[in-house]
Amino acid sequence: MHITRLKLIQFRNYEQLDIPFYPGVNVLYGRNAQGKTNILEAIHICGSGKSFRVSSDSKTVMDGKEGAYLFAEYLEEEEERSIEVLLRRDRKKSLKIDGIPAKNMRELLGNLFVVIFSPEDMKMAKEAPALRRGFLDGEISKIRPSYVDALKNYAKIIAQKNAVLKKQSGRDIGGVLDAFDAQLAGYIRIILKNRHSYTEKLNRLVRETHRAISGGEEEISIEYKATIPEDAIPEALARCRQRELAEGGCTAGPHRDDLEIRLNGKDIRVFASQGQLRTLMLAVKTACLDILRESTGHTPVLLLDDVFSELDRTRKQNLLKTLEGIQTFITTADDADARLLSRARLFYVENGKVREMKKKTK
């Protein structure tokens, strides 16, 4: 799978862009704040339906304009396919897949597969558990779009149960809570099964990729930490009852779980340097790509934003060796990094304009 053409109209700082891309590595280079990351964002929206930078579509529309248009053409096993996205400030986005209007966002998933690394991903490793849960759920949803339904239904019931617990005022609400727990148990089972399974695959592949990038200097482990055991969900919910009544809210479940990441046996949130964190997240995202490839039979497009910062030359070269056979988009502000990729296609980005650069021959 690889993107052959990207067209943007009134998106971010691009009044109009229509540019071909190639299999292998495509490097977008130039000074900061010129529009390099905007191209990755556009590709990500075409693949996932959402930005990896902002929560509101309106923020991606060019200033002073009412809407933006994105078009990605790509090859999937020699078949030409396309995704179109129309973003509006005042309405929901509309989508077309191969020229046919999509009914909802879920229809988009499972078409153009993309995996993104951005500097913001470093927060996932070090900050709140909600970021790690969100990452995990997002990757699972790419493989199993129906998983989104279980998440939404679980969140809806948790919100309803929390509202009842908060307003209990000494009333006997045991029967109501029993009904909530009976509904929750099924969704918890689906969520835990998928999260445990994905984490086991992720841990195995991350260890392999991390060794390749770090040169075998460090060991990584990733483990899913559940607050409710998968094999005793109803019993665990029952045990939580008194504490929930005392605290006025749900105290355990997938919305309270976490991913534990360790570097050489130590908690990465405490002991990792910025360079080690970046290496870890690169290994994680490459592993996510491998899981997608194993699960779907398609090789996703890899988006690497500002990937080379804080990596030494050896780790940069080791990373590049892992990209064989993957269409990759890399942004960098450093000309030297761009030239490091001997077989890459180079694109110079300046003030919302993109030019393909021809390499100098000796």
Binding residues for ATP: 30-37
∠ CA 222-227-230 to the nearest 5 degrees? 85
Scan for tokens 């396919």, then name that residue: 81
Partners of 67 in the β-ladder: 88
Q: Are 259 and 199 in contact (CB under 8 A)?
A: yes
56's tokens: 């509101």
Give the residue ranges of the annotated binding site. 30-37
* Secondary structure tally for the chain: helices H, strands E: 11, 15
DSSP structure string for 125-184 = HHS-HHHHHHHHHHHHHHH-TTHHHHHHHHHHHHHHHHHHHHT-TT---HHHHHHHHHHH
Q: How far apart are CA 115 and CA 286, in angstroms?
A: 8
Q: Which of 29, 19, 230, 3 is nearest to 112 (CA)?
A: 3
Return phi, psi of residue 312, to 5°.
-75, 170
Q: How far is CA 196 from CA 111, 140, 238, in A?
A: 25, 11, 22
| Nearest 10 degrees: Cα torsion 248, 254, 259, 260 | 50
Q: Which of 165, 158, 224 is nearest to 185 (CA)?
A: 158
Query: What secondary structure letter does DSSP report for 37?
Result: H
Task: Tell me the chain's radius of gyration from C-alpha atoms.
Answer: 22
| Nearest 10 degrees: Cα torsion 303, 305, 310, 312 | 40
